[in-house]
Amino acid sequence: MRRSMLGRLAVAACSLSLLTAFAPAAVAQADGGGHDRSYKKVGYFTQWGVYGRDFQVQDLEANGSAGKLTHINYAFGNISPQGRCFTGNVPGEADAWADYVRPLDAANSVDGVADTGEQPLAGNFNQLRELKAEHPGLKVLISLGGWSWSTHFSDAALTPASRKAFVESCIDLYIKGNLPQDGARGGAGAAAGVFDGIDLDWEWPGSAGDTDTTYRPEDKQNFTALVKEFRTQLDAYARSQKKKTKYELSAFVPTAPAKIDAGFDVRRIMRDLDFVTLQGYDFHVSGEPRTAQQSALRARGDFSVDGTVDAWLRRGAPANKLVMGMPFYGQGWTGVSGGGDGMGQPATGPAPATWAAGYEDYKALKKLADSGAYTIHRDRRGGHAWLFDGTTLWTYDDPQVLRAKTGYIREHGLGGAMFWSLDADTADGELMTAVDRGLRGR
């Protein structure tokens, strides 16, 4: 599957040191536009969510999220075995149909106008362009990689020549918008202006990721050089276009200290990255034999958001470039024994769910919570919540948890919040609203 979050098992083999306090840093200042820019609010839009979940770009307008977001990360762009950004219609590898070929009718279009057969850009890319027209301050980044599609990142970053060619291909495809021709769709400049930058989601440089993902000890220095190459080429292209604002460059980064140290020269990459989004979830996953929290704000002797922030600050990252990741989904176990509130108890396996065992969207978990069949439990000191019915347990973030996390962001001067993924929220954007209000101090 192309979904990234289930694969993020990076934390399983590492341990955190005891948490320590740190001094708050200055909050990022507003930078204009149509949104509140004091904090970044970065949401992942999944390419495949338009199918089974039937979550269209237009739904971000309908549920009110579009007016609250500062950034949309489009997941994902893939990398070929030759180390190039590419698209096409290759099952499991690329989906040009969803990206820019699929026509949308009037009811599913942001502007209320049906796509025609002649226009060069349709699909999600065209809808993102229409959404930006409605919200001029909104930025859209193409996110490269993810758990399943980080396979060839290490090869692409291996040499100066391979890095240069890789970055050129990504800028040509996504920033210049030179899409492959697919009938009337695509062509030179067809997607120009859709993307405002690039998000690097390499999972993980220097350490193990998905089963077929290559990694090397030299990934750490090569990732640093790759970030520099992206920054250099993006800036050069912006100058050539006399662009008043630069193209943005971000990265998704891990929580485990061992993975940070194996793949990330923190001080150097932070000079060239506009911000990083921190893994704030999948601290424990449903494949483990015992139930555990997946996204606690604080957890003594265990993975936590606070521990992740501390790990990056200790290694030299500026606080206002750290954007906290938040899950819009839950991890679940069934066959839970041992009684009590179910947390920390043995389980027989991942809980049944709508799309994949052990993984459920918030909108479905809210229905479970509202049904009365489950009891909501909270660790108020730890800042996390879970549902338990005596047999099945789901660990997840609800609006109350997100209020605590946004308070933490404001208290510590972090750069904002990121969420995986926008299609998992309720029809009225309950989680997005909670984050937005929390960051505004409301």
Q: pLDDT tens digits for 133-175?
A: 999 999 999 999 999 999 999 999 999 999 999 999 999 999 9
pLDDT tens figures, 253-270: 999 999 999 999 999 999
Q: Is 71 left (phi over 0), alpha (psi -120 to 50) or beta?
A: beta
Output the pLDDT for position 379. 97
pLDDT of residue 414: 98
* Mean pLDDT calculated for residue range 415-440: 98
pLDDT band at residue 30 using 50, 70 and 90 as cut-offs: very low
Domain contains 165: yes
Rounded to an integer, what distance in angstroms lies between the CA atom of residue 114 and that of residue 117? Answer: 10
Asked whether residue 9 carries a pLDDT value surpassing 60, the answer given is no
CATH of the domain at 43: 3.20.20.80
9 is a domain residue: yes
Boundaries of domain holding 201: 5-328+398-439
Of 10-19, 138-147, 215-224, 419-428, the poorest mean pLDDT is in 10-19
In this predicted model, what pLDDT tens digit does every residue of 62-99 receive, in sequence order? Answer: 999 999 999 999 999 999 999 999 999 999 999 999 99
Any domain includes 344: no
Mean predicted confidence (pLDDT) in 201-226: 98
Q: Write down the mean pLDDT value for the chain.
A: 93
The pLDDT of residue 40 is 98
Would residue 363 count as lying in a domain?
A: no
pLDDT score of 10: 37
Looking up tokens 């396996």, which residue turns up?
349
- The residues carrying an active-site annotation are 203
What is the DSSP pairing of strand 329-334 with strand 359-361? antiparallel
* Residue 14 pLDDT exceeds 80: no
Domain count within the chain: 1
Percent of the chain with pLDDT over 70: 92
pLDDT of residue 48: 98
Does residue 12 carry a pLDDT above 90? no
Q: Is the pLDDT of residue 56 over 50?
A: yes
101: helix, strand or coil: helix
| Distant-in-sequence, close-in-space partners of 261: CB < 8 Å, separation ≥ 6 | 315
17 pLDDT band (50/70/90 cuts)?
Answer: very low
Q: Please compute the mean of the pLDDT values over residues 215-243 and round it to a whole number.
A: 98
- Whether 356 is in a domain gets the answer no
Q: What pLDDT was estimated at residue 29?
A: 36
Give tens-digit pLDDT for 370-426. 999 999 999 999 999 999 999 999 999 999 999 999 999 999 999 999 999 999 999
CA 307-312-313 angle, to 5 degrees, is 95
Beta strands in 84-146 (DSSP E): 85-86, 89-90, 94-95, 139-145
Residue 45 lies in a domain: yes
31 has pLDDT over 80: no
What is the pLDDT averaged over residues 15-26? Answer: 33
The pTM of the full predicted model, rounded to 2 decimals, is 0.92
Is pLDDT at 37 greater than 70 in this prediction?
A: no
- Max distance between CA atoms of the chain, in angstroms, equals 65
Q: Which residues contact 186 (CB under 8 A, 6 or more apart)?
A: 96, 100, 101, 120, 121, 179, 180
Is 253 within a domain? yes
Q: Over the stretch 243-257, which tens digit does the pLDDT of each residue have?
A: 999 999 999 999 999
User: Does 388 reside within a domain?
Assistant: no
Average pLDDT value for residue range 275-285: 98
pLDDT at 201 over 60: yes
Band (pLDDT 50/70/90 cuts) for residue 61 is very high
Q: How confident is the model at residue 222 (pLDDT cuts 50, 70, 90)?
A: very high
**425/304 Cα distance (integer angstroms):** 22
- Asked if the peptide bond before residue 204 counts as cis, ω within 30 degrees of 0, the response is yes
Regarding predicted confidence, which is higher, 24 or 395? 395
